[in-house]
A and B are shown apart, each in its own frame.
Chain A
Amino acid sequence: MALEVVSLAGLAPGEVVLHEGMTLVETDDPLLLVELLAEPRLRAAVELQLSPCAALVRPGAGASFLQELMKAGHTPKVSDL
């Protein structure tokens, strides 16, 4: 099952929330993200999709996600931020 871009309840006017230390995967093309998430092992490590090209990897599952990504033949550019 593909992930839909999640629609989260909004914040109240004036509120700003910082989410830090997140593991994100981004693609240059929405279809590529769909293709990645069609892979069950990758899909299982993804918590939610934030946009058509960005998804949040489940906290603690970053290393296994990266490993599976590379095992599937992808060569992601890895960075801290």
Chain B
Amino acid sequence: MTASSLPIALQPGTAVRLDPWVPHFDAATLKQLARLFVGTAANKMRKEECLRAVQGALRDLSRLQGLAGGLSDFERLALHLLRAAGGSMSAAELAGALWPSGHPFRSSGYGDPRDPLVALGARGLVFIADQRGTYSFGYGSDYGLTGKIGAGVAFADERLLQHVRPCAPRPLQIVPASPPALAAGRRPAQVSLLLGKIVEGIERAGSVPLTAAGRPTKPGVARVARLLGTGELSDPDLGVALPEAGAFLTGLLLASGLLTLRPQERQAVLAVEAWDRLRQPFDRQAAGWARAYQGLTGWAEFLPATGYYYDGDAVYGFSKLNTLRAALLTALAALPDPDGWYRLSDLTAALHKVLAGRLSLLSLPHQEGYARTEQEQQKLRAEYLEERDAVWRDAEVPWIEQAVRGPLYYLGLVELGAGPDDQGLLLRLSEVARAAVWGALRGEEREAAAPPEPARCWIVQPNLDVIVFMDRVSAEQLTFLARVAAQESAQANAAEYRLTRASVYRALESGLSADAILAGLAAGSERPLPDSLRRTLADWASRRERIRFRQRASLLEFPDTAARDAAAARLGLEGAAVGERFLRLESEALPEGLSLSARLDYRTPPRRCLTVAEDGGVTAAEPLDLPARAALSRWAEAVPDRRDAWRLTAASVASAVAAGRYAEQLLTILNDRVPGGALPPLLRIALRAWASGRPQPGASLSAETVLHLDDPVLIEAVPQSTLLRGYLGRQLGPGSYVVSPEAAAELRALLAAFGVEPAPALPAERGRRAAAPAPPVLPESPEVSRGRRRRGRW
């Protein structure tokens, strides 16, 4: 065994050539690999010689053919599975697919000798890489007794895989059952229709949101479930159910590649080829769904109630489910008669023989203990087997049943039946699964029965309902209908669609012409299309031509009409005139010889090129975009002889408001184009005030009379006076009171009556008070001074 790191991260489904890997292999690995091509002569070779031998052999067609021709059945099956998966696949799935194959293998490598990947690794045929590019050779992964499954990717050289002939698993040792009295299965068209509906729903939504860990969010999965209507898929009468259908379908689309992960954008989007894949013949689609089911994550058929605790997130890293699915699919491919009915219990027992003790959803018991005698050893062995079988009954038996009653049924891979005797649940491969699962490992291109050509499989009614006969419709026809009509209902024998203005509009928007829609409908129709359909389609198509919505148009602006027309003629500009001075270009490429004064991109935020002064002056440092120019032309007065200057005035703003505009529109335009995004605060106040026609509240400037008492004696006496107190208003500071203008004369007279003669004003002290925030001190008037001197202190 050896392990090393390579800067090559490998994704399942990737074709691999060993050339960049082999220089990193150590001597033992290279020697083992060289033995594949030169036999025991490699034992005497040094590392460099082995490397050259391997590199040469990988380029030598005859040696590759020779190696492929000498493979055992077990090895052929393993390499055929890798080839079918695109060159590499999850090691957990490959191991699971090989266990029930029935082909013996012999391991001379390190590790668990019952591990098929150990045997393949020891031969130098298959390698396992983890996501960091580390590869292992000989050990395989850690399967089996510990129950741990690695997350590696198994791969082999694609040039070798090209020469490997298919190999079927050995038939399971089970016998067919009597045909059931009652049987049920999903038609391929039903499956295609269901998945098409989900794909269409995701297409409309745009994406499925992802968490930071790159997994579909719960709301995203719930949205997928809602596309099913009820959110669940189940039929209690038939005893079938697909619990958490939203998670299953999301996982299936991800595993199939129809949904592509964009972790950076935290979303999964439809693959470009999604609809093309749904147009493939049903049996090819079925092969893809089977592979996707095997590899899907984030959903479980069944998890045992005891043992580990699996929360929703943990299911993503739980590759044992993928191993079990791969084993189950191989078991289906190993059914002795592809057309026969089998008891589920027999299939489960056959899987028990190859899986029990190797892999379980629960912790496997340990076959340990010291036995002194043969009897004790047998007893320990019996206890171990009993414990192991109990684990199987608790975990794998219900898992297999739920897998059959859930995903395998709903993906149309198996048909289920019951009776006539007490045979329990019966199953058989569906017609598409006979080709996609059973035939694929035998290299047989067993095509599902093709619908009659040309398939006349629907009727278009005058009310624009389309009745589709599910037994005759092809995948391509269903995809066409999904494109042009809205699905109303779907049963096993018939589905109902409706041509609506919205559905036809979507079809037209997707690139179909009205003629193509009519031709497609006519091709599948049992009867001539109703005349009303032709008229209605023509009407809907013509309405679409009346409004054009251009998402990223380019306009050239010229000084005037003459300049535009002259430039268009001179430079051969292709476009349409818009207004008097604009030309909308038909393509993104700019014609040669066109010299631009400025280029403004409306997909990016506007340039901050405006200077706005407190007095309302606006200046542009560079050419402005159209919204800004339009706003300034509406809200400001142009400065004469300047094309880059405007002035906001009370009159210009009031005029714009009178024309029905809102000041917020102007403020947004200006804020977006001013450096720092802030207008002068005073101008902002002014704009609002001008626009509303109401002065901004919150400031006051009064002409009230102030009684200022300078003398401490007065400061004490006046406020205490019952005669005078009523004249004093708000206190501004020590000895300063507001006096209402009406009462000022009375107060003055009263004060005079008491020998106080107030000075007429507060001269020259304002500046001093402003400089010193201390209590205002008003200058003494000569009269007050004289009075004080005359009367002395009271």
Q: Do A and B come from one complex?
A: yes
The winner among A5, A28, A29, A56 for most chain B CB atoms within 10 A is A56
Least CB distance from A78 to B in Å reads 5
| B374 at interface by CB-CB < 8 Å | no
Contact: B600 with A20, CB < 8 Å?
yes
Give the docked Cα–Cα distance between A66 and B508 (Å).
Answer: 16
The segment from B21-29, B158-166, B590-598 found at the interface with A is B590-598
Contact: A16 with B557, CB < 8 Å?
yes
Least CB distance from B750 to A in Å reads 62
Q: How many residues of B contact A (CB 8 A)?
A: 60
Which of B544, B556, B585 is A81 in contact with, Cβ under 8 Å? Answer: B585
Interface string of A53-81 (1 = CB under 8 A from B): 01010110010011001000011111111
Give the docked Cα–Cα distance between A44 and B67 (Å).
Answer: 73
| B623 at interface by CB-CB < 8 Å | yes
Contact: A16 with B567, CB < 8 Å?
yes
Give the docked Cα–Cα distance between A44 and B54 (Å).
Answer: 71
Which of B552, B556, B606, B627 is A18 in contact with, Cβ under 8 Å? Answer: B556
Which of A11, A36, A47, A51 is B578 in contact with, Cβ under 8 Å? Answer: A51
Least CB distance from B607 to A in Å reads 13
- Collect the chain B residues with CB atoms within 8 Å of residue A13's CB: 559, 563
- Collect the chain B residues with CB atoms within 8 Å of residue A22's CB: 550, 552-555, 602
- Collect the chain A residues with CB atoms within 8 Å of residue B556's CB: 16-19
- Collect the chain A residues with CB atoms within 8 Å of residue B578's CB: 24, 50-51, 54
| A10 at interface by CB-CB < 8 Å | yes
Give the docked Cα–Cα distance between A5 and B587 (Å).
Answer: 25
| B625 at interface by CB-CB < 8 Å | yes
Least CB distance from A3 to B in Å reads 10
Contact: B602 with A19, CB < 8 Å?
yes
Which of A10, A18, A48 is B581 in contact with, Cβ under 8 Å? Answer: A10
- Collect the chain B residues with CB atoms within 8 Å of residue A20's CB: 552-555, 588, 599-603
Least CB distance from A17 to B in Å reads 4
Give the docked Cα–Cα distance between A36 and B11 (Å).
Answer: 51
Give the docked Cα–Cα distance between A74 and B543 (Å).
Answer: 8
| A1-37 contacts to B (CB < 8 Å) | 1, 5-29, 32, 36
Which of A8, A17, A58 is B596 in contact with, Cβ under 8 Å? Answer: A17
Least CB distance from B610 to A in Å reads 15
Given A11-B559, A20-B599, A20-B601, A77 and B579 touching (CB < 8 A)? no
Contact: A59 with B598, CB < 8 Å?
no
Contact: B643 with A9, CB < 8 Å?
yes
Identity of the chain A residue whose Cβ is nearest the Cβ of B504 in the assembled complex: A75
Contact: A17 with B598, CB < 8 Å?
yes
Given A8-B629, A19-B625, A77 and B602 touching (CB < 8 A)? no
Given A18-B598, A20-B602, A11 and B579 touching (CB < 8 A)? no
Contact: B559 with A12, CB < 8 Å?
yes
Contact: B550 with A81, CB < 8 Å?
yes
| B545 at interface by CB-CB < 8 Å | yes
Least CB distance from B27 to A in Å reads 59
Least CB distance from A53 to B in Å reads 8
- Collect the chain B residues with CB atoms within 8 Å of residue A65's CB: 549
Given A10-B581, A17-B623, A81 and B587 touching (CB < 8 A)? yes
Contact: A26 with B599, CB < 8 Å?
no
Give the docked Cα–Cα distance between A2 and B543 (Å).
Answer: 23
| B704 at interface by CB-CB < 8 Å | no
Give the docked Cα–Cα distance between A48 and B625 (Å).
Answer: 12
Give the docked Cα–Cα distance between A81 and B578 (Å).
Answer: 14
Given A18-B554, A18-B590, A81-B554, A36 and B547 touching (CB < 8 A)? yes
- Collect the chain A residues with CB atoms within 8 Å of residue B545's CB: 28, 77
Least CB distance from A23 to B in Å reads 6
| B722 at interface by CB-CB < 8 Å | no
Give the docked Cα–Cα distance between A48 and B112 (Å).
Answer: 75
Give the docked Cα–Cα distance between A6 and B551 (Å).
Answer: 21
| B682 at interface by CB-CB < 8 Å | no
Contact: A19 with B555, CB < 8 Å?
yes
| B108 at interface by CB-CB < 8 Å | no
Give the docked Cα–Cα distance between A52 and B584 (Å).
Answer: 15
Least CB distance from A59 to B in Å reads 5
Contact: B546 with A7, CB < 8 Å?
no
17 contacts between A and B (CB under 8 A): A16-B558, A17-B623, A20-B552, A23-B550, A23-B602, A24-B555, A28-B545, A28-B546, A47-B626, A47-B627, A51-B579, A75-B540, A75-B544, A75-B547, A76-B547, A80-B550, A81-B554
A22-B554, A75-B547 given. 4 additional CB < 8 A pairs?
A16-B596, A26-B548, A75-B543, A77-B545
